[in-house]
């Protein structure tokens, strides 16, 4: 395993330089000094551990967006707009902030902070900031709905299921700011809807028989009262579940929205249920809760087994 320190005055002053110095198969730990790394990260490493000095000390910042014109003459689109792109077998990120500073979606389009396709992921004490489409959990859906809708580094590659664990993280956005087909576990996270537009926390495109997005003991709120929906399905089997979460006044009383789906094949659940059941919510039994929690435990165990 290689351990590389990155920062001003060091041999490698940018994250990109350090990533390019090592080959794909070499397990790599990057330790980032305090500061702002103003660069677009393209990381395809088999095993990477990325460590900052703290969410308020180490920042990775860029500002691409969907409406921006690329050098190839096309617009960037959602899946080239990322500040940081990660792929590979295993990724651990801790103690830093990743931000896309492009601006609000109605002005610049989607602006991804982190696009995470890595198969097994653990993020801890990480802050992710943007407006529309802050965090993407791979894989992409099988088919695009519009030509070049998935234009980007994984448009034409096989769809590989990912298993991702976000612990004590903070994620900010407005429209669909956690989205994709990955299995995502969010534990003790702060999720915040910023801006004045009506927002949607999740837009899952879950594959059938997969877990989807699971939120455990998270704090969820928004800047404007009754402004943030908990989720809407990006594809027909989208799943988002909220277990023992604290909901602020910013959460829309309806809770969920069916978006384009006419049939109720999606799965949105909240447990324990509120006194007034939210629209488009699926009722879960105690037995189903146990099955879901067992699956969550298996995924967390698999991820943590790779940290050695």
Query: pLDDT for 144-182, tens place per residue?
Result: 999 999 999 999 999 999 999 999 999 999 999 999 999
Q: Is the per-residue pLDDT at 274 higher than 80?
A: no
> pLDDT category, 232, cuts 50, 70, 90?
very high
Please give the span between the terminal C-alpha atoms of the chain, in angstroms, as a whole number: 12
**In this structure, what token pair is assigned to residue 109?**
């389009």
The per-residue pLDDT for 273 is 82
Residue 218 pLDDT more than 90? yes
**Residue 129 has what pLDDT?**
99
Strands laid side by side in the 178-180 sheet:
41-44, 84-87, 114-116, 135-137, 178-180, 199-204, 228-231
Cα separation, 113 vs 64, in Å, equals: 9
Mean per-residue pLDDT over the chain, rounded: 97
pLDDT above 90 (res 128): yes
Let me know if 156 is a catalytic residue: no
Q: What are the distances in angstroms from CA 240 to CA 30, 90, 162, 202?
A: 33, 24, 16, 7
Q: What domains appear along the chain, each with residue ranges and CATH number?
A: 41-305 (2.160.20.10)
Q: What is the mean pLDDT of residues 29-44?
A: 98
CB 209 within 8 A of CB 236: no
The secondary element (H helix, E strand) that includes residue 17 is helix 15-21
Report how far apart, in Å, the C-alpha atoms of 120 and of each of 14, 89, 269 are: 25, 6, 25
Which whole number is the average pLDDT over 75-95? 99
90-109 pLDDT, tens digit per residue, is: 999 999 999 999 999 999 99
pLDDT-derived band at 74, boundaries 50, 70, 90: very high
Distant-in-sequence, close-in-space partners of 284: CB < 8 Å, separation ≥ 6: 241, 269, 271, 292
Check pLDDT > 90 for residue 1.
no
Band the pLDDT of 87: cuts 50, 70, 90.
very high
| Active-site residue identified among 133, 174, 176, 257 | 176
- Mean pLDDT for the stretch of residues 239-267: 94
Residues 44, 38 contacting (CB under 8 angstroms): no
Q: Which pLDDT does position 307 carry in this prediction?
A: 85
The Cα–Cα gap between 26 and 153 comes to: 21
pLDDT of residue 261: 85
The pLDDT assigned to 278 comes to 84
* Spatial contact of 88 and 42, defined as CB atoms under 8 Å apart: no
Q: Which DSSP string corresponds to 245-296? A: -EE-TTB-TTBB--TT--S--SEEEEESPPSSPPBTPPP--HHHHHHHHHHH
Residue 12 confidence (pLDDT) above 80: yes
Q: What is the mean pLDDT of residues 249-261?
A: 93
Statement: residue 89 has pLDDT above 90: yes
The arithmetic mean of pLDDT across residues 273-282, rounded, is 81
Q: Is the pLDDT of residue 224 over 90?
A: yes
- Beta carbons of 50 and 24 less than 8 angstroms apart: no
Burial code (b: 16+ CB inside 10 Å, e: under 16) for 254-292 equals ebbbebebeeeebbbbbbeeeeeebebbeebeeeeeeeb
Banded pLDDT at 35 (limits 50, 70, 90): very high
* Dist. CA 247–CA 262, nearest whole Å: 27
């Amino acid at each position: 395993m290689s351990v590389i320190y990155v920062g001003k005055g060091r041999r490698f002053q940018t994250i990109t330089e350090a990533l390019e110095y090592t080959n794909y198969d070499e397990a790599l730990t990057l330790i980032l000094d305090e500061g702002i790394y103003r660069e677009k990260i393209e990381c395809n490493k088999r095993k990477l551990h990325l460590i900052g000095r703290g969410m308020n000390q180490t920042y990775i910042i860029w500002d691409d967006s969907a409406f921006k014109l690329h050098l190839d003459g096309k617009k960037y689109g959602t899946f080239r707009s990322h500040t940081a792109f990660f792929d590979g077998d295993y990724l651990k990120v801790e103690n830093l902030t990743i931000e896309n500073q492009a601006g609000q979606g109605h002005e610049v389009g989607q602006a991804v902070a982190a696009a995470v396709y890595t198969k097994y992921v653990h993020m801890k004490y990480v802050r992710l900031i943007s407006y529309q489409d802050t965090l993407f959990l791979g894989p992409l859906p099988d088919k695009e709905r519009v030509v070049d809708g998935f234009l980007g580094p994984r448009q034409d590659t096989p769809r590989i299921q990912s298993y991702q664990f976000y612990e004590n993280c903070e994620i900010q956005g407005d429209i669909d700011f956690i989205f994709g087909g990955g299995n995502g576990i969010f534990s003790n996270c702060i999720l915040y809807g910023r801006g004045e537009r009506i927002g949607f926390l999740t837009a899952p495109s879950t594959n059938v028989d997969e877990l989807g997005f699971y939120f455990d003991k998270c704090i969820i709120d928004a800047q404007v009262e009754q402004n943030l929906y908990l989720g809407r399905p990006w594809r027909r089997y989208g799943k988002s579940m909220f277990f023992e979460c604290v909901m602020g006044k910013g959460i829309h009383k309806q809770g969920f929205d069916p978006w384009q789906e006419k049939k109720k094949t999606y799965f949105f659940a909240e447990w324990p249920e509120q006194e007034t059941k939210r629209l488009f919510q699926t009722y879960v039994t105690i037995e189903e809760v146990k099955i879901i929690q067992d699956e969550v435990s298996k995924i967390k165990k698999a991820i943590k087994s790779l940290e050695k």
